[in-house]
Amino acid sequence: GRGAAAAPREQLDLLEASLRWQHVAPSAPDTLACYPYKDRDPFYMEACPHVYFAGNQPQFGARMVETAAVGGGGSGGGHVNRTLAVSVPSFATTGTMVLVNLSTLECHPITFGDDGDA
């Protein structure tokens, strides 16, 4: 079934697809309010980021995404880009923030608030 456990996987699937398409807003300007650009697309990713995240998500999730390098003659030379995709939950709703070690790309959620102990 599609419950709360499916939410991080679905969000990470969407982030991964966006990375593979190399586009931050693939449905713009058709379904997103934005200015249509004539000469260039500002939402196109010219380079693959090391960390790619979406905020205000229902739950925390993280996944390492590997994509073939593009450019430099079209073949990429067999190079693989590795990007940490992170679903960052709404802090106001969950009390959770996410820490990312930029050297190792390890990712850990930290939750603040009442844990139920008296």
How far, in Å, CA of 102 to CA of 113, rounded? 26
The pLDDT score that the predictor gives to residue 34 is 81
pLDDT digits 0-9 by tens, 27-80? 887 887 887 788 888 888 999 999 999 999 999 999 999 998 765 444 556 789
The single-letter code of the amino acid at 16 is E
The single-letter code of the amino acid at 44 is Y
Task: Of 3-7, 13-17, 32-36, give the lowest mean pLDDT range.
Answer: 3-7
Pick 8 or 61 by higher pLDDT: 61
Q: What is the DSSP string of the chain?
A: --STTHHHHHHHHHHHHHHHHTBS-TTTTTSS--PPPSS--TTB-SS--SEEEEEEESS-EEEEEEEE---TTTTGGG-EEEEEEEEEEPHHHH-EEEEE-TTT--EEEEE-S--S--
User: Quick check: 19 and 51 in contact, CB under 8 A?
Assistant: no
- Tell me the pLDDT of the chain averaged across its residues: 85
Mean pLDDT score, 13-29? 90
The pLDDT score that the predictor gives to residue 1 is 45
pLDDT digits 0-9 by tens, 98-107? 999 999 999 9
